[in-house]
Structure 1
């Protein structure tokens, strides 16, 4: 099973950008990792961040500490913390997040309904939330909808 989405294919082989699976884990454990920090990590460290589970409070604490240690070692200071807002927007399955709704106004032919939203995996919903954020380059929103069978 791949840890990556097809819309990320241009950079996942080299891991030159932070893939969605890692961004998802960063949000779960409350760490803001800058691209500069990511580039300072070794290929092995990046791969570890991709494949290491982050699905329990204990795993999240371990993931967070390991990442903070690595960044502090290579950068001199730890990465910033981000607020962990629960429930996460992607965990709410009874309505589409506002940013996703707003982004959908720019997509003429989609089939994303609340029912289909709730059927997506948490990682797929996370990706759509992230790809719909204001100020984010939203060019992968449409490819993500296509990949998830929603366009």
Structure 2
């Protein structure tokens, strides 16, 4: 558990199987996509070269940086086979952005795994850590990294 601000380019240990080759979109990038309002498909991600993918991992998540990221992604996906990335509403008021209320879905996911998630723990997590837990616990996700995520961020 950390109390410091999230690192825009932090990748979790449970993502280690694709760090470096970037065959999947890491959670730090997925958070930035939510914050800039862009739906980037895996095919878009894979159509980028290694250097381009790394630049998205390293991209700063300041308001200005996120605005530039949105413009950049729309421009660089414009001529891709899957078409331009779609725009979405920018994430505001999401469960992972609220450090004072644990989402019910996450409490249930923790209890199912025998984990007691207390408000003090949730509040001590940084936004990226809360984002990771919420994304991995959402319905329709395969949840294969959720237990590892709980272990890593609650350690």
- In 2, the alpha carbon distance for the partners of 1:106 and 1:76 equals 38
Structure 1 unaligned residues grouped into runs of 5+: none
Q: In the alignment, which residue of structure 2 is the partner of 1:62?
A: 68
Cα RMSD of the aligned pairs, angstroms, is 1.6
Counterpart CA distance in 1 for 2:82 and 2:41 is: 14
Please say if 1:49 is aligned against 2:56.
Answer: yes
Q: Using the TM superposition, give the Cα deviation of residue 46 of structure 1 relative to its aligned residue in structure 2, in angstroms.
A: 0.4
Alignment-derived partner of residue 28 in structure 1 = 35
Q: Deviations over 1:17-44 (max 9, x none)?
A: 0000100000000111111111101111
Q: Normalising to structure 1: TM-score of the pair?
A: 0.91
1:39 to 40, 46, 49: 46
Q: Which has the higher contact order (CA 8 A, sep 6+)?
A: 2
1:104 deviation in Å? 1.7
1:133 corresponds to 2:138:
yes
Equivalent pairs counted in the alignment come to 148
